[in-house]
Amino acid sequence: MKKFLKYSLILLLISAIGAGVYFLVMKRHEIMGSHDQKEVYTCSMHPEIRKNKPGNCPICGMKLIKLETHSMEVDTTLSENLLKPTDNFIVGKYQTITPLDTSINTELYLPGTVEYNPNSIVNIAARVSGRIEKMYVNYKFQKVNKGQKLFDIYSPELLTEQQNYIYLITNDAKNESLIAASKQKLMLYGITDAQLKSLNETKKTNPIISIYSPAYGIIQGTDKMTETVNSNSMQNAVSSTDVLKIKEGDYIQKGAVVFKLSNTDKVWAVFNVLQGYGSIIKLNQTVVITTEINDSEPVYAKIDFIETQLNQSENSLRVRVYLNNSKLKLPVGLRLQGTVRANPVKALWLPKQAMVSIGTKKMVFVKLENGFKAREINTGITINNYIQILKGITKNDTVAANAQYLIDSESFIKTR
């Protein structure tokens, strides 16, 4: 009996200890669970706000809402197979091609315009100081012929030199050296042979001298000639009726440029070459030029100059062709179309449709055993719908023939 009671007490003690341990463990889990499940309130407009009790947002005043917390285990296998970029790997059978390692011939079509040749500009300057008495041209871009009267100028300096000349030929006719020097000075002042002959016969001075055009051309302004010559056709059209700044009654100094005369017998045909294509343009290459007013009679010329500075606004390089316009009669500002047969370009080529542009990157889809892998490439120029490949694939790679079709495909799950 005593032995039975002893074992019963021992068993009861062990049960009590076990129950105590279980109680402590469960209590700890409850405390931790209550800590983990602690309520958090936030603002729907300002999620950075976190509070442990209801209330209003301190920023916007909206009522805080309870933040639901859930804990779950993430299946890493799903993340590896499903959470992939949509252009990373594509499963399917699609038409493929291989890059071409060859040379391609092409014709480049270059837009251009007719521009003034700055080398043919003639300055009409005042040879003596004086006052403009009469103007015979009043507007920019007026056409003038060689020998046409431009303006009359009154000059006291010219009057004094005429008086000296008349005195010499009247009172010192034997002094040929002084007479010749005075005659030469008058001619340098702008006196013509006819005026000098009249001065010899009449012995009367004329303080007004007429200035004539030394060549055929177009009258330009005096202040911003460089801008005018290099301006496009629209700017020329807008300013074609601008009145000249110099007017009758204005005083001018000796050597001051009154007009600038642009000779249109020699002009430039300026063509724009897109960046990247400059390497296939060479000097003396033949250019077939057609105009928007007559595309049935092309003009054959040579490239005379390639500018070395890139035009940042148009992202292009300019090439010049010097034209003899005395017979062509091309108006300045006329739009041109130049065709150049470029030298063959040896490179790795891919059809344009095999590449897709996504933002700042250009991609192709390379064929692997069980699908297509997206790969970034670097490209160069485009000729005849073929793109020059600089980096990213080799001639041994096989790529999808239509990259745009694959980028729109729904088969984007990667398999192993």
Model pLDDT for residues 325-334, shown as the tens digit of each residue: 888 888 888 9
Q: Which two tokens stand for residue 105?
A: 């011939």
Kindly compute the dihedral angle of the four CA atoms of residues 29, 30, 32, 35, in this order, to the nearest 10 degrees: 170
DSSP string of 57-73, one letter each residue? -TTT-PBPEEPP-----
DSSP string of 318-371, one letter each residue? EEEEEEEHHHH-PPTT-EEEEEEEEEEEEEEEEEGGG-EEETTEEEEEEE-SSS
Q: Within 13 A of 103's CA, how many CA atoms are on the CB side?
A: 7
Give first-to-last CA distance, the chain, whole Å.
73
- Contact assessment for residue 332 and residue 236, using Cβ atoms and an 8 Å cutoff: yes
Q: What does the pLDDT profile of the chain (416 residues) look like in tens digits?
A: 556 666 666 766 676 776 666 666 565 555 555 444 568 888 877 777 778 888 888 777 778 888 765 544 444 444 444 444 554 667 778 889 999 999 888 888 999 999 999 888 888 888 888 999 999 988 888 888 888 998 999 998 888 989 999 999 888 888 889 889 988 988 888 888 888 888 888 888 888 888 888 888 888 866 533 333 344 443 444 444 577 888 888 998 888 888 888 888 889 999 999 888 888 888 999 999 999 888 788 999 999 999 888 877 777 889 999 999 888 888 888 999 999 988 788 899 999 999 988 778 888 999 988 788 888 999 988 888 899 999 999 999 999 998 877 765 444 433 33
DSSP one-letter code for 396: T
**Closest to 328 measured CA to CA, from 261, 265, 270, 284:** 265
Mean pLDDT of the chain: 79
Q: Which two tokens stand for residue 268?
A: 């430039």
**Closest to 335 measured CA to CA, from 232, 202, 203, 217:** 232
Strand partners, 273: 317
Model pLDDT for residues 204-248, shown as the tens digit of each residue: 888 888 888 888 888 886 653 333 334 444 344 444 457 788 888
H-state helical runs in 100-192? 156-171, 176-188
